[in-house]
Amino acid sequence: MYQYPFYLLKTRRFLPFFMTQFLGAFNDNAFKLSVLTLVSFHLTHTESSNQLYQALGTGLFTLPFFLFSASAGQLADKYDKAMLMRLIKTAEVILMIFGAVGLWLQSIPLMFTIIFLMGVHSAFFGPIKYAILPDHLKQDELLAGNAFVEAATFMAILAGTVLGTLLIPQDETVLYYSLMAAGAVVIIAAILGLLCSLFIPHTSYASPELSVDWNVLRAIPRIINEARKYPIVFRAIVAISWFWFLGAVLIAELPAYVQYVLKVQKDVFSLFLALFSVGIGVGSLLESRWLKGEISAKHVPWALIGLVFFLLVISLESLPQTMIISSAVNHPLSLSAFLGQWSGKVITVCIFLLSVCGGIYVVPLYTLLQKHSPPEWRSRLIAMNNIMNALFMVGSMLFVALLAWCHAGAAMIFKILALLSGLFAIYTRDL
């Protein structure tokens, strides 16, 4: 009988790394959301300036993945990954001290500079995050290790997002103390992350003779050409990027979907965000248990088909004739009133289940990427995956903008996503 390897959470070869990456994901989101909430509710006074700063914050955090991922992958292949993690975590402590000062001073230039530098921090951490697992885990532990990491990452994102938002109140009279608390939280989390990284076992140098090329325009094509030599690796990268495309579109559309399609209060939006994160974590752990350590993508196309089904159900249940239109009572429906409807229950369950399908879909892909990447190129190929993910996420924003320009509503966008995902399931059959 297969025993799920929870013992990994008690081992030095996994637990310190697990906690380090969890605290890093938490801090990225806690700081970013604290800044964006502060800017939205206290430092801007028009809708256009608010939208500008929200877009700027997202763009500044994403840009470093294009600029530095290729170099980060080279460094991770050349040097000891544990040592690099400690250096990166030390930098995070310094950044969070300045970030806390930016919050306390309510300085937009300083806060947004730190958001950019946290993006740099994450760009350098990303290739190590997945490349280090094959160094410390046995092959039959790799799937479970990825499942734990994926589940923890999304729970950390949820915790950071919720706490970062809650730490910044609308009440001006307590704002100063709240900013002090927010700054203290991100500094403490960074210090804890650094302390955890000190216990990560050292790794061998995968490619010590490598000469790091800091020219992005030259390094990225070289990594792409190398990835193409390994068809499974390249297909896994594209498939993982589709996961991030889908997620970015869904998260971008959720506010409008909640406000203008469902016509409900923002508590429903918070519930949906929580269900996304928890669902992906549940799906990740379920897939690891079902595969029993086997590195296989046999469930990936079926997970996409499940996602297609739940997207279609959500879009159909959002039709006016299936909903109690809240405009009839002249105010948005509360969370309890929404969940009291049949369609509200169906939509809520489907959002959770499509997220579960997302977890089932993505975990085997990361494991395939790790298994089939040659050790001397593994970090660089994972860096290539990060670059491709960022490109797909930028593409998702252009996709949303184009459909918005065409006056496509959120329900219609969900239908289009379902169609594209159905076609993409064909692409994943050969993995």
pLDDT at 21 over 90: yes
Residue 116: pLDDT above 90? yes
Answer with the residue of higher pLDDT: 397 or 196: 196
User: Does residue 388 carry a pLDDT above 80?
Assistant: yes
Task: Give me the sign of the Cα torsion angle 77, 80, 82, 87.
Answer: negative
pLDDT tens, 259-281? 778 888 777 888 888 898 899 99
Encoded amino acid at 254, one letter: L
Q: Residue 259 and residue 257: Cα distance in Å, rounded? A: 6
What pLDDT shows up at residue 48? Answer: 62
Residue 1's pLDDT band (boundaries 50, 70, 90)?
Answer: very low
Cα gap 299→311, rounded to integer Å: 18
Specify the higher pLDDT residue, 273 or 305: 305
Q: Which residue, chain included where needed, has tokens 């949820």?
A: 158
Average pLDDT of the residues in 41-51: 71
Average pLDDT, the chain: 87
Mean pLDDT for the stretch of residues 210-224? 82
The SS3 assignment for 318 reads: coil
402-426: average pLDDT: 86
Q: What is the DSSP letter of 377?
A: T
**Domains along the sequence of the chain with CATH:** 1-204 (1.20.1250.20), 222-431 (1.20.1250.20)
pLDDT reading at 330 higher than 70:
no
Tell me the pLDDT band of 321, cut-offs 50, 70 and 90: very low
Mean pLDDT throughout 345-367? 93
Q: Which of 234, 352, 373, 365 is nearest to 288 (CA)?
A: 365
